[in-house]
Amino acid sequence: MPNINNSKKSLIVILGSIVIIGFAIAKLYYNHVNKSNDPRIIEARELYGKYDSYAESNNFKAIFLLLDSVEFIYQSVEHYQRSYEIGVLHNNRSAAYLAMAIFHEDNCLSLDGISILSKDTLLSLSKIAALKSIQTYEDWLNIYSEKDEEEIHMLLTTNFLNGLTSYSDKELKRFTSSRINEIKEAQLETPRRLSVAYTNLGIVMRHRENYELAIEYYKKAMDLWDRNLAAENSLNALLGQPQKKRNFIEKILPPPKDK
């Protein structure tokens, strides 16, 4: 077991940075809309432009409706149904549920105006979403990791152009080239996204007082992305080690109870 210190100051875990990282990763991807992008999913990227304003105003109902709408668009196109974009959506759900559970734990929360969601329920929903995200990322990496441009192009021939028959050969070539570039970027970015998902799981386990499992997830997150400061400081907090950096996102998690 880690050395548990009951002082709140030594038990800081930076959930806020997880939310910020999740938003930034999503914004980086979804805000890049141009004529080279697959026209079937441009609406999804444009919808994501509203995400920041919803998050800043804690409009969780709007956040989840937006994520559902974006996922519906991706799920309607075979090529994207098991792609890393779905993992991004699940991970953003996980972060939003965590924000509801932790930042608003003293309030009664409802997304439909009827059902009251307890902190434990929100943590469970966050865990489910994080696990879905992890599975999606890992399955995608098993297919695309370390593939070169020619191999990616060959993989795309299976289904990427299905449903795009009304476009010219020049446009299809442009869409394909753009998608290859997105996948090459995702080969680099997805391990970082996976790291964020494992950090979310660690935070869930921390709140559930399963400290050994929390430590395991934090270490896994750092193995995937050694610059994941949220995971590192979360781990440091559990082990009673000094934080690398403290800022406005401090004092997020409750102290572990003595065993």
Decide: pTM greater than 0.95. no
**Which residues, including other chains, have CB under 8 Å from residue 59's CB and lie 6 or more apart?**
53
Res 172: pLDDT: 95
Report d(CA 197, CA 184) in Å as an integer.
21
Res 105: pLDDT: 59
Res 243: pLDDT: 81
Res 224: pLDDT: 96
Res 110: pLDDT: 65
Domains of the chain, start order:
8-238 (1.25.40.10)
Task: List beta partners, residue 117.
Answer: 109
Q: Is residue 117 helix, strand or coil? A: strand
CB count, 10 Å around CB of 198? 25
Report d(CA 148, CA 86) in Å as an integer.
22
Res 109: pLDDT: 65
Would you write out the chain's pLDDT as a tens digit for each of its 259 residues? 444 443 333 333 344 444 444 544 444 444 444 668 899 999 999 998 888 888 888 889 899 999 999 999 999 999 999 999 999 999 999 999 998 888 765 565 666 665 678 889 999 999 999 999 999 999 999 999 999 999 999 999 999 999 999 999 999 999 999 999 999 999 999 999 999 999 999 999 999 999 999 999 999 999 999 989 889 998 988 888 888 864 444 444 444 444 3
